[in-house]
Structure 1
Amino acid sequence: MRVYLDNNATTMLDPEAYEAMKPFLTEKYGNPNSLHQFGSETHPALRGALDELYTAINAKDSDDIIITSCATESNNWVIKSTYFDKIATGEKSRIITTAVEHPAIAATCQFLKNFGVKLTILDVNEEGLITPEQLREAMGDDVALVSVMLANNETGMIFPIKELAKIAHEWGAPFHTDAVQALGKIPVNVQDLDVDFLSFSAHKFHGPKGIGGLYIKDSQKLSPLLHGGEHMGGRRSGTLDVAGIVGMARALTMSNKFLDFENSHVRRLRDKLENALLEIDDVSVVGSKDRRVPNTILASIKGVEGEAMLWDLNRAGIAASTGSACASEALESNPIMEAIGADKDLAHTALRLSLSRFNTEEEIDYAIGEIKKAVKRLRAISSTFAH
């Protein structure tokens, strides 16, 4: 049996999204910016897809949703344009973020330190979250931007974005959230969250790879990251991927239709898998179930290196992931585990399991059996686990 439990990395394409995309891959392939019929015949589908995206996140007509290649681009755009628009001009000097952001945020912020940007990185608690009080204490008149993810890609923990955005706005600072791991799993309403910028990637909610977006509240100023054309109202140059946009919009619409299913069926299967893991001695899971997105488990299995576990699971046909990675000479520990204060040994034992609405009960039962077999085998040969 093959079981895919790495849905926080990427997801299968929704069959309805695939069907919606097909005409724009083979028949209606014209450039939307061309004046001829081949280009103009794509316009109704583009308008419909953008309307779907606006509806899916409850954006207003006065807002912008700009199509990008992925959330990594969207994140880079917000962070770097904050530097261009506010920090390089001397108006502001500081960006606030957290210790558990995706590398698309963390690495971009570290890069901008070379240009004089000041960073405040908020530490997280043992559940991997920050509190509104932490942000309030860190704020000041010099803050150009606050960027905090909506849901963590490894733990699945959901941050109190509405409260955090309110605090940032009290100081006149715009607020950005990387919502990649939230869309399609929990309701995301930009009016309720009151964020200024929100990034997303289609392939995380059963859309195609290579397409994403950036929500911009009230179409506010944000210098373009890419230059060379007047696409998307001059905000993002590059020929539009009509098939990708149509597929992304349909996938998000479908994912929103299945939110109740996600919170019931997927959550039940996740909890079944998690409870089975916790029956094993010396296994822990990061974060409370009710504060996580419904599909995610980040477990620590004492005495079992994450990479070794992945090897055994892969041989059994099960796809999972871990923060550990084979470097040239050393095994790197999971940075999220380190951020929440786990000791060095446990930080090497992380196993992330992330489900989707396409997983079945049979698959979860099979995964439970294979994980238990792998733990038994690996602990038997472990030099660090007390038998």
Structure 2
Amino acid sequence: MKSLILRWNQISLVKRIIVGIILGVILAVTIPEYTNWVTIFGSLFVGALKAIAPVLVLFLVMYAVAKHRSGHKTNMKSIIALYAISTFLAGLVAVIASFLFPVTISLVPGAKDVTPPSGILEVLQTLLFNIVDNPINALMNANYIGILTWAIVLGVALRNAAETTKTMLGNFSNAVSLLVKWVINLAPIGIMGLVFEAIVSNGLSALVDYGKLLMVLLGCMIFIAFVINPLIVFINIRKNPYPLVFRCIKDSAITAFFTRSSAANIPVNMRLCENLKLDKNTYSVSIPLGATINMAGAAVTISVLTLAAVNTLNIQVDIGTALILSVVSAVSAAGTSGVAGGSLLLIPLASSLFGIPDDIAMQVVGVGFIIGVLQDSCETALNSSSDVLYTATAEYAKMRKEGKEVIMNP
């Protein structure tokens, strides 16, 4: 048995995940009534990732800031700029696609009992209050803005601490990182359970009536992943971007697609950054930050569903309002982490630009929940894999400016 486990672990993680996906599909299609216990593996896997991620972020960021020495520059400004540019372009692509391929929807009641934010100010206010959240509460509720804030503040306070204290922080950081590796190693079994549950619980029949809407949504996300993102990377590093793009999709997007949680994918992205040999002082901050503000997929969802409601109601949209929608969707998407329900609950906010009443806008949210089986999975995959992509891009761009050879790890 020990020899079998060792051989299994020697196979690449992606191949093991593919085996897990195939097994999940086979069990769900053939004998679902006898294998419903498989779903517990998916719940345990996602639960373990969500549980370890806040602790990982706290210790990694705190240690990185505490041991940071003056003169050692990070790439955070460049990364934040890349996050902002890509999210805006995602909203713009979604607006253009909605004009080229107008979609209407059958408005049906059924939005969940939720309350959307009343405006951008409420979204920003929520984010600001998350910054000053109680640190214990932030850890318990996976409030990454709050966790980041406290980790940075504590790290700065510990800069003048004794080396033994910093060594202890480093040991805790390494120990938590090891726990993450153990959890990620269980991904094939966890994803088998997630695939099984998705097929048995939802199927794909509910998506047939919304096929055209899904095609526009997913088409935008695919276009951003394989055209816009590579273009931004190429402009920055002046080299073929696709080896890096495919690496991020293979090692980050696939896992994010099935977990449907940017927070749960933080440990996966940290490990990928480590494998790419990126600067730990940078990615220990940029990855959890990206999980909260780098939301290209959310910007697509907000724009496409809002304009679907606009088309359904025969509201005329001029170019100026469409551009404003791109900005609003980008800003709103960056604030989705501070609003329960994510990107779908910000649709009423964007709809208010066109005078669409809340009761109709919430029906659109209901449609969003129906197609969420694929929409949310693809949105999370795009958002999360882009965090690593732009962290690596900023570092490679810095190397190029310094005249160093940029070696893309395929």
Q: Scaled by the length of structure 2, what TM-score is found?
A: 0.22
Q: As a proportion of its length, which structure holds more helix?
A: 2
Q: Scaled by the length of structure 1, what TM-score is found?
A: 0.23
Q: Identify which of structures 1 and 2 has the higher relative contact order when contacts are C-alpha pairs closer than 8 Å and 6+ apart.
A: 2
Q: As a proportion of its length, which structure holds more strand?
A: 1
